[in-house]
Amino acid sequence: MNATRLSGIGMTSQRTRSRLVQWLLDEGIQNQQVLTTVEATPRHLFIDEGLSHRAYENTALPIGEGQTISQPYIVARMTELLLETGASDKVLEIGTGCGYQTAILAKLCKTVFSVERIRKLHMQARKTLKGLNLHNIQLLFADGFNGWQQNAPFDGIIVTAAPAQIPEKLLLQLADGGRMIIPVGSQEAEQELYLVERQGDKFRKTFIEKVKFVPLVGGVAR
Ligand code: SAH
């Protein structure tokens, strides 16, 4: 990839990115590794060039197909929660979208598995992540309600779209001692972000904060 495009200029420059990181710090993100990774990850490459100038604002942005790239704060927060106890070997993400969260996870975990139900987004994310030379990522075009059984159990599961209830199949693909970060709720109501910790056959659910995500939808879209 062109070095200037990768490092960014003006509104995509390193200075603009550092400002975002300062903001995340002010908002309470504490994990230094997470902050460093956000600072080093070119978010502008995951969105349409026409929106590049807004890439380092703390907002969700459209990525096509009616979907959005998550707000940097929520990406950082979910990643921080996932890694709190160092559960970083095998991670499953449901909802690859443009692959931004996937890229952040790939820099902090050994292997990242990510599932996306919209073919076009899946293909585009593959291209973007390849361009960034991230090779510890496996992408799957499928319905994430089913998880990714062949690679289970996972030390961590991050769900980046909201189901009405926590899918049972995902809980069962969590390793003993594993952690899941998931938004739950309908589109009309406010959704809630939860941390679910598995201990044997027990699942402990902790409310984190109110959030707004696109819905987790069943089936695939070719
Ligand atoms: N992590 C993404 C967030 C994208 S928005 C990012 O950083 O850009 C959530 C994504 O979840 C959308 O791309 C949507 O298509 C996808 N999604 C929704 N339901 C899904 C399902 N059942 N299986 C897999 N992906 C799903």
**Widest CA span in the chain:** 51
CA-based nearest residue to 162, from 95, 62, 71, 91: 95
Alpha carbon distance 20, 2 (integer Å)? 23
Domain assignment present for residue 127? The answer is: yes
Whole-structure pTM value = 0.96
**DSSP assigned state of 118:** B
What CATH number has the domain bearing residue 152?
A: 3.40.50.150
List 194's β-bridge partners, or say none.
182, 207
Domain assignment present for residue 205? The answer is: yes
Domain assignment present for residue 49? The answer is: no
Q: What residues contact residue 130 under an 8 Å CB cut-off, 6+ apart? A: none
CA-based nearest residue to 99, from 145, 147, 67, 59: 67
Segment 79-99 shows an average pLDDT of 92
Domain assignment present for residue 32? The answer is: no
Quote the domain boundaries for residue 155.
62-211
Domain assignment present for residue 104? The answer is: yes
Give how many domains the chain has, as a whole number: 1
- What is the tens place of the pLDDT at every residue in 158-209? 999 999 999 999 999 999 999 999 999 988 788 999 999 999 999 999 999 9
Quick one: pLDDT band at residue 87, thresholds 50, 70, 90?
A: low
Alpha carbon distance 163, 218 (integer Å)? 9
List residues near ligand 1 (CB under 6 A). 67-70, 94-95, 97-98, 100-101, 115-118, 121, 143-145, 160-161, 214, 216-218
- What is the tens place of the pLDDT at every residue in 94-135? 999 999 999 999 999 999 999 999 999 999 999 999 999 999
- Determine the residue of 94, 141, 148 to mutate for testing ligand 1's pocket, defined as the one with the most ligand atoms within 8 A of the Cβ atom: 94
Domain assignment present for residue 115? The answer is: yes
- What is the tens place of the pLDDT at every residue in 4-52? 777 777 777 788 899 999 999 999 999 999 999 999 999 999 999 999 9
pLDDT at 215: 95
Q: Residue with structure tokens 């009405």?
A: 164
The residue nearest atom 17 of ligand 1, judged by CA position, is: 95
